[in-house]
Structure formats: structure tokens, C-alpha cells
Structure 1
Amino acid sequence: MANNPNMYTCPFICPNSSGAPVAETYLKAGESHASENPFASPYKPGMIQPPEHKVHPHDAPPLYLPQPTDSTSGDILGMGPIGPWAPGHVDWTPQAGMTGVRPVVDKYSITHYSTGEWRKNNLHMLTPRATDKAKALDASIKGDLQKAFNALDNKQNETNTKLKGRVKDLARMKKNVEKAVKAITKETNALEADRNKLKSACRILMLPEAISRECLELRTNRYEPDLVRDDAEQELIKEVAIVGEIRRVFQDTLAKVETQLAYNKAAKASIESDWSDKMVTLKIDGQNLSMGGDSNLILHHPGVARWPENATTLEFWEHYSAESIRNCEEVRKKSEHLRGDLMTAIVKGSQDMKTQADRTNAALAETVLSTEQLCAKLEENLKDNLQTIADVENLIDHLKESLRQLDQRDKLSNTRLRNRNYNRPNVENCRDKAQYALMGEAKFIKETVDSLNGKMRKAEAVRAELMKYRGELEREIACKRKSLNIDQDRLSRVRAHMPTPEEFANA
């Protein structure tokens, strides 16, 4: 033994050793050495089974309601090294794998109720309550409401009958008043007829003057580029001046016959006032008759269910209406005639005004035509501008995509250079052809990125300029649209009410 040279050498390390190699052995899955801890975890690889498929009967209630298989004493959950609360294999004591060492709780949750109790609580919450009381109360209230509304309908029908009778009386009296108004008009002599025509012509003359002034005021709402004193504006100013001259002639003529018609005017005003009151009353009673429970005009008015202080009797109303008609008849018999030739001034003035209105309309039509042509051209330019903006934006998107691709290439080049610069050891870190190629590639990528960034800035500047021009075009189109809306739409609607010479003659 003392002469053995391999006595103090390891046969697995020393190459000169002639000792026989020891055969290596491995345990299979689930096997263990006989000397291992008998209290170790019973878990073995491969012992976990796949989930079992639960089959529920076809007539079983929903899963959130109590099931026939629910336990009444709570869920029975075991505890072990592998279970709902198992933290895994524990080896802090020799008894770590034994059941009952640790409580049935982990750091995440503590079980309070069983699944059966949860489903029983769901059934309790889904069960309706107090249904019979609600049905009885519903039937009782509906019966009382039906009786109340039947009584209200009877009262309302009676009130509607009374209102219909009053409306008939008002309509009859209003008809008599209208007859009196027609009678006093027929009895007026030729002078009164001419005077009425002249006065009506003066009233009608307010309409063309208002139209002309409104057209001038509407044209002041045009935007600044279109605030020009064009032909249409000149003709509108002339129109206002002509209306003023015609009014002066009418007023001078009317002053000569005003005194002769004072009594007739008072009588007519009195009968017309009575007629107006009856019209208002008839309208109010008609409106009251047409109202119902679903009308959107009804409101609460506290304190109205009483007699007003200025209320009169039905007998006084009949007496006043008859006296008003009789007074009108007496004034009609006393009226005097005043003759004069007023039709010439009315007809000639209306013809002059019509001629000037035609000149104004022609100037407006010419202005509208030129504005429409300009607006169409501006819209064409705007369309081209929008297409150009879209093309530039597509170009910018292409540049951005190219820059993203260059960024990837730059990262690749930088990563390669870093690996070669800092990971090659010692003399291997040399400046070979690959290193020069990588350096040249990085420089070229940097120059290309700078160039594309410059192009990107130029494209952005061009897009900004196009967007600015787009805004100018849109503002100009809005200005022209505003002018067209005023000259073509609003002015045409206003000037459509311009009176004709026939309206002046038949006023």
C-alpha cells in the first residue's frame, strides 16, 4: 500500500492515473434515494392530472342559482403541500410536509362562505316581493282615477257647450260690425276714395323705402374685400332718394284733404276699434274652445277663478255694440265729398319707383354673376391646393417612413461597431476592412439622415405655406359666399315684396 503511486491521486482529475472510472448513475422521474428525508413532500413530477370536464344536467338551473350537488355544511377543502392554500414545498422543519402543521389560510384570501351559500343568497335577491300589494293598489287607484276623470269630462263638456254658444254670438255681432264698416266705406264720396288711396299709397310707400334701406344695411355685412361702392350700391342709394321725393309729393297732396275727412276718420276708427275688440275676443274664445288637456299652452294661474273688476253685463255689451253701429251709420250720412285728381301722382310715382327697382335688380344680377364666376375660380384653386397638400403630406409620410428605416439601419451599424470595438479582445481589435466598411456605413447613414431631415423641413415649410394659402382661399371663398348670400338670397327675398304700380293704384 505504501508503494502504490496512485494512492493519493484522483482518478477523475489526474490524467496519469490508471484508476478505473466510476460509472455515473441518474434517477428516473419520481425515484428517490433510500436515504432521503421520509418527511419530504409527496409531490412527484407527472402526478398533476388535467382538469375534469363538468357535465351539468340539461334541466339544471343556471350556475348562479342553487344546484342539487351543493353542500349544506360548507365546502370541504383539504390542506396539504399541494392544495388551494399550499405555498409549495416547505422544509423549515422535519414535519414540513405533514398535514395540520400550518393553518388553512394564505397571504391572499380567507374563505368566508361556501359556494352553496353564495347561490342561495343569489336566489333570495332574485325573488320578487310585495307583488300582490302592488297589484291591489294599482287596481284601486285606477278605479278612483277613472271615476274622477269621468266627472271632469262631464264638466268640461258642459263648459265647451257654453263657449260654443258665446262664439256664435260673437261671430254674429262681428258680422254686423263688418257690415257697418263696409257701409261707411260705400257712402264715402270720390274725394274720400282718392284720399284713402293716397293715404294707403303713403303707407305702402314705407315698404319700398324699408326694403331699399334694409338692402343697403345688409350689404354693409359683406366682408372687407367686398365692401365696394359698385353699381348695385349706387342704384340702391338712388332708389332711397326717389322714394323720399315721392313721399313728399304724397304728403303735400294729402294735407289738402285731411280736414274734410276728420269726422269720417273718427267714426271709422271707432267702429274699427269695436271690430278689433270683437276679433280679439273671438280669437281668445276660439282658442279656449280648442284647448284640451294635452295642449302646450296651459299653465297654472292662481286667483283667476273670480269676477274681474272691469267686467260688464251681457245687456250692456249688446247695447254698446248696437250704439256703435248706429253712430257709424249717422256719421256716414253726414260725410262730405272732396274731389281731386290724385291718381296721376300715385300712378306716376309708382311707375318711377318700379323703373328704378328694375335698374337696381339688373345691377344686382350683374354683381351676383361676376361674384359667382370668381367664387367658382377660387373653389377650383382651393381644390388644386388641397390636392397639392395631400401630395406633400404623402411625401412627408414617405420621408418619415424612410427615416424610420434609416434609424433601424443606424442602430444596426452602431450595434455592430460597439460589438467590434468593445468585445474583441487584445490584438483582435484591429482596423480591418470590415471596420472601415462599418465606419463608412455609419457616416453615410448620418449624412443621409441629415439630408432627409433637411428635405423634411423643406416639405414642412411648403406644407405650411400651402396651408396658409388654403386658409386665404377659404376666407376669400367665405367672403364671396357671404356676398352671394346677401346679394342673391337675402336681397332677393327682401326685394320680392317690392310693391307694383297696380298695388299703389288699388290700395
Structure 2
Amino acid sequence: MSAEVLVSKPHYDGGAVAQGLRQEQGAPLEPPSVLATAGFRSAKYTPAEWFSGYRSLLQQAGADHFTAQTIQEESRVLRKDTEATTVQTQTDGTRLLGERLQDIHRWKSELQEHIGRLLSDTTALQALKMRLERALDATETPFAIAVDNLTCRSRRLGPDLVRDCVEEELLKEVDLIRNVQALLKRTIDQVATQIKLNRDTKQALEFDWSDKYEAYALDLQCGRFTDKSTDTQHYPITAAMLEQMSDVPSWIKFTQDNLHRAFREEKASKDLRLEHCFNQTVLLDTTKDLRVQCSNVDQAFLQRCAEQMDAKIQLEMQFKETLEQIGAQERNIVALQKAIDDKDAPQRVAESRLYRRYHRPNMELCRDEPQISLEGEVREIDATLASLQQQLRDARSSLSHLEDTRMALEKDIMCKSNSLFIEREKCMTQRKLYPTISTLSGY
């Protein structure tokens, strides 16, 4: 438009110009009617104005033509440049979208790989946790057996209520089971915590993977857009949308942080499994120790039962002999009492004879041979009675002691029977329910 020339266009009458032109070329004069009105025309152009008018028009047309040609050339160059620029820009945009798709696919694949690893680790840890829980549940049976054995043995009577080797082995068994349970509970807590961390990390990776999956689909759709696509339209780009967008470094850092977290939890899961391998060896050893301790307790029970059985047999034999001695002593007491009673008549006879002879008169009261014999007989009978009565007292005292011994033996035999019932019928019967090594290991 710089070459455009602005020229004022004066108003002129074309008919008047044409009329004047015909007059110059020798045209006939106007009719009288025209001449009659000549005095009333006041707006006629002069030839100079006429020439100036069309020359100005020609000049304007030339300027317009030049301006149009200039604009046309500039438009042609601009169309060519903008078309090339637009094609190049669109090509670059398509290329960048393709590179972006590759980046998203790479990160998405890495996320998916770690999601699979975390899922595998979590599944393995869940199986480990179930096995440990089964092993922990399995320890409840031997613990209940050992505690019940101690409780039953606390109901032993009298002298049998002793802290023997069986009780020592049972206490060792209880302590060993508690140690195993503490190890199992600690390991279960660690596994449960790691499972939760794995699940949280897996969920974060899945959210990131889902976002990248959606972004990949959108960018793939954008990459397929061409100038001939029918599903494109104009959309206004607002500043609010630009403010919500993240930059490339933060986008990369977000995914890298998730992957680092996944690496950390995977390593923790691996370390936990390695630790469990060690703990599994320890658990297997302690499980074997439990079975060995169970065998020790069973052996102690058998030995104790054998000792109690021997003691019971000896007590029963002694009880039988004591009963026989009681019977013999009772018969002896009866015999002694009869012997004492039997001495009553001879004693009365001898004493009566002495008494009667004491009434002999004067010199007849002589200590003769019969007198001496009677006196000796009375003394002998008295001595015999004293001896028999002392023997009777001793026999009765012995019988009393025998009765006390019988009662003590009977009570001790009852204690031994009660202890044997507790040991064999209660404790050893329950110990047959002791779980196997595989059960204690959680299989």
C-alpha cells in the first residue's frame, strides 16, 4: 500500500463532456430547445477539468494496479512461506508427539514391570504370612498341653507335690514355645508391614501407570490428526489450563520417585525373604528343639511313672504286710488278754491259800515248805501278770503304730495312684496330640 496514490476525484458531468467533444469534431449545433436552456446550466466542466479528471482516474487505476500486484506478490511469498512453516511446524509437532509417546511407553513399561514385581513379592509375602500364622497357631497346641500338664500336676497330693525332673522339662518346654511364638509374631508383624508398604507402592505405581496410559492414548490420537481429519475443531487455550500443567523435569521426577520407592520396597521384600530364610532355619531348628524337648518330657514322664509305679508296688506290698501284722498283733493282744485272764484263777487260789494259812493259830503259823511254795507261787504269778500286762501294753502300742502306718501307707498309695492317673491318663494321653515338625513349621 506504500505505492498507493490518493487523488481527489472532482465531480464532472460525462454528458457535458461528450457534448463538448462532438462540438469540437464539427458536430451539428444543438437544437433550439437545447440552446434555449443554455443560460440555465451553471455546473459544466472545462476541458482542463475533463483532462484532469480522467488522467487522475488513470493514475489512480495505475496505482491500484501496482498496489494489487505488490500485495499479490507478497501474498504469494507469504502463502509459500507460511505453508512451508505450517507443514514444518506440524511435522515437528508430530515428531515430538512420537518422541513423547516413546518416552511415555518406556516409563509405562518400566512402571508395569515394577508393578508385576511388587505383585509377585506381595503374593510371596502373603503365602509366607499364612504359613507363619499356621505355624503360630500350631504352637498353641503344645503350649496348651504343657500348661495343662503343669496345671494337672499341681493337683498332686501331699508328698507327691514335688518339683521333679518332669516339671523342670515342662517349664523348659513352655519357655521354648514362648520363644518360638515371639519369633513368629515378630516375623509376622514385619511381613504384614512390608505387605502394606508393597500394596501402597503398587497402588501409587498403578495410578501413575493409569495416567500414562490415558496420556499415551490421548497423544496417540493427537499424533494421528492430519489436515484431512474430520474430527478436529477450534478450541480456545486458556491461561488457567496452562497454569495447571507440570513441566518435564517435575514429570520425570514424579515417575522416578515412584520407581525409587518401588526399588526400595522390592529390596526390602527381598531382604525380608532372605531374613526369613535365616529365620526359617532358626524356626526349623527350634521346631526340632520342640520335638526333642517333647521327647525329653515324655521320657521324663515315663521315668517318673516307672518310679511312682515301683513306689506304689512297694507301698502296696508293705501295706499288705502291715495288714498282716495288724491282724497278727490283734490276735496276739487277744492271746495276751486271755493269758492274763487265765492267770486270775491260779492267782486267786494261791492268794486264798496264803490268806487261809495266815489264820493258823500260834505256833502253827509256821513258814514251812508249803508256805514258801505258796509265797513263791504268788510272786511268780504277779511277775507273770506284770510281764503279760507290759507285753499287752506294748502290743497295743504296736497295734496303734501299725494302724497309723496302715493309714499313712493307704494315703500314700492313694497319692501315688492319683499321681499315676494324672501322669499317665491325663498328661501322657494329651501329649499324644503334640503336633509334628511339619505342622509346627506351618505346612
TM class, shorter-length: 0.3 to 0.5
The one of the two structures with greater contact order (alpha-carbon pairs below 8 A, sep at least 6) is 2
Which structure: greater helix fraction?
2
TM-score (norm 2): 0.45
Q: Which has the larger radius of gyration?
A: 2
TM-score (norm 1): 0.40
